[in-house]
């Protein structure tokens, strides 16, 4: 039976859309596979890692009838990548194996029973459905995701806080040393306040899959699960349980010293001085005086870097230290020409924003150098 028949680029695109969560090595071998369900011309592909499940349906040629199996996802993708994009490929079932054919190439692949594939147990009831423009969600995630924690013992920091209330959508991420906040105004109002923590892996996968297209992404939340649908795909993910820190208390207000300067000039200055920072601490010193910003770094080999920028500043003289990576991260993920920095003193956190725009805020703690 010919399970499916399509051009290489079409089949590869469908497979890649669901395979991002598949691990090459897994305690459960079947989780390295993609579940393929054929019903007429419609072929549904599903992958899972027990906490996230991605499903998509594509219209692919093949014999009439129903068929279900699971095949190694990465192996299938690796083989397809070696074939020309316009070549027609087919997948045929043969006892407990499948045969992938393309041109004069033929690959016989092992399968595992579909009934062994552990689908994610979906919540009995989800909250109201609401939609967000893909472009908006992708942009907001790009503005905050770099500040997520990685394997932090405070598990609620290993993800993004998602808050939708009224016609406002806000995303917040923090690792305890820095915090990024971004918000946008939606065209329609959300039925009721939605506040959840999306896991880090889910965020990274959504960033990979979301496009800058105008299409909407439909979302629904249950107590411990989210269901997301867009572009013919359905994404079910476990949520992070726990209490996210009160970000409004962390964002400083009323810092009396502020300066506005070119983002690119500051980024390049920091990238230069970062070369001679200590690998362990990545610390740089910022000396702020009226009209001048000096950036300096040293390392264990007693090497030194010093750079200077002329700035429009008339506030207090301040010497403050930062982990340079935290500031490079935020400047690299912004696309505005100018940035504003608010400071109080050497011991208080700094606030980085976009001039005359309160939709983005980035807070970074100082460090002793």
The model's pLDDT over 251-296, given as tens digits with 9 standing for 90+, comes to 999 999 999 999 999 999 999 999 999 988 899 999 999 999 999 9
- pLDDT value at 23 more than 90: no
What pLDDT is stored for residue 179 in this prediction? 98
Average pLDDT, the chain: 94
Residue 40 near residue 64, CB atoms below 8 Å: yes
What's the gap between Cα 234 and its chain centre? 17
Residue 297 near residue 285, CB atoms below 8 Å: yes
What pLDDT is stored for residue 97 in this prediction? 94
What pLDDT is stored for residue 160 in this prediction? 98
% of the chain surpassing 70 pLDDT: 100
What pLDDT is stored for residue 27 in this prediction? 81
Residue 241 near residue 261, CB atoms below 8 Å: no
Could you count the other beta carbons within 10 Å of the beta carbon of residue 94?
Answer: 11
E strands, 74-153, in order: 88-94, 97-102, 105-112, 130-133
**Cα-based angle 22, 115, 219 (whole degrees, multiple of 5):** 55
Burial class for 104, CB neighbours closer than 10 Å (0-12, 13-18, 19+):
exposed
Q: What is the average pLDDT across 79-101?
A: 93
Taking the C-alpha atoms of residue 22 and residue 5, their distance in angstroms, rounded to an integer, is 23
- pLDDT value at 91 more than 90: yes
Taking the C-alpha atoms of residue 35 and residue 241, their distance in angstroms, rounded to an integer, is 29
- pLDDT value at 201 more than 80: yes
Instruction: With H, G, I as helix, E, B as strand and everything else as coil, classify residue 68.
Output: strand
Spell out the residues 6+ positions from residue 225 whose beta carbon is closer than 8 angstroms to its own.
122, 123, 126, 236, 237, 238, 239
Taking the C-alpha atoms of residue 163 and residue 263, their distance in angstroms, rounded to an integer, is 28
């Amino acid at each position: 039976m010919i399970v499916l028949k399509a051009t290489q680029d079409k089949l590869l695109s469908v497979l890649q859309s669901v395979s991002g969560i598949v691990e090459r090595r897994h305690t459960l071998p079947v989780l390295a596979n993609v579940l393929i369900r054929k019903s007429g011309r419609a072929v549904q592909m599903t992958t899972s890692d027990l906490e996230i499940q991605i499903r998509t349906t594509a219209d692919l040629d093949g014999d009439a009838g129903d068929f279900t199996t699971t095949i190694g996802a990465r192996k299938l993708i690796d083989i397809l990548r070696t074939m020309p994009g316009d070549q027609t490929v087919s997948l045929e079932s043969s006892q407990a194996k499948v045969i992938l054919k393309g041109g004069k190439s033929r690959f016989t692949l092992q399968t595992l029973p579909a009934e062994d594939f552990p689908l994610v147990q979906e919540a009995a009831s989800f909250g109201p459905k609401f939609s967000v423009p893909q472009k908006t969600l992708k942009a907001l995630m790009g503005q905050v995701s770099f500040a997520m924690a990685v394997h932090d013992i405070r598990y609620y920091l290993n993800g993004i806080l998602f808050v939708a209330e009224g016609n406002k959508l806000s995303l917040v991420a923090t690792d305890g040393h820095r915090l990024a906040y971004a918000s946008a105004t939606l065209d329609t109002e959300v039925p009721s306040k939605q506040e959840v923590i999306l896991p880090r892996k889910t965020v990274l996968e959504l960033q990979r899959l979301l496009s800058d297209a105008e299409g909407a992404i439909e979302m629904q939340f249950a107590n411990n699960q989210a269901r997301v649908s867009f572009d013919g795909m359905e994404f079910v993910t476990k949520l992070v349980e726990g209490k996210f820190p009160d970000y409004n208390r962390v964002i400083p207000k009323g810092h009396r010293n502020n300066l506005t300067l070119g983002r690119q000039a500051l980024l390049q200055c920091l990238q230069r001085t970062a070369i001679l920072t200590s690998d362990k601490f990545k610390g740089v010193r910022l000396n702020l005086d009226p009209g001048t910003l000096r950036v300096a770094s040293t390392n264990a080999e007693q090497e030194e870097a010093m750079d200077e920028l002329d700035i429009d500043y008339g506030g207090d003289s301040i010497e403050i230290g930062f982990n340079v990576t935290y500031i490079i991260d935020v400047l690299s993920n912004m696309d505005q020409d100018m940035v504003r920095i608010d400071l109080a003193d050497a011991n208080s956190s700094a606030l980085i924003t976009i001039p005359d725009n309160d939709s983005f805020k980035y807070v970074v703690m100082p460090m002793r150098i």
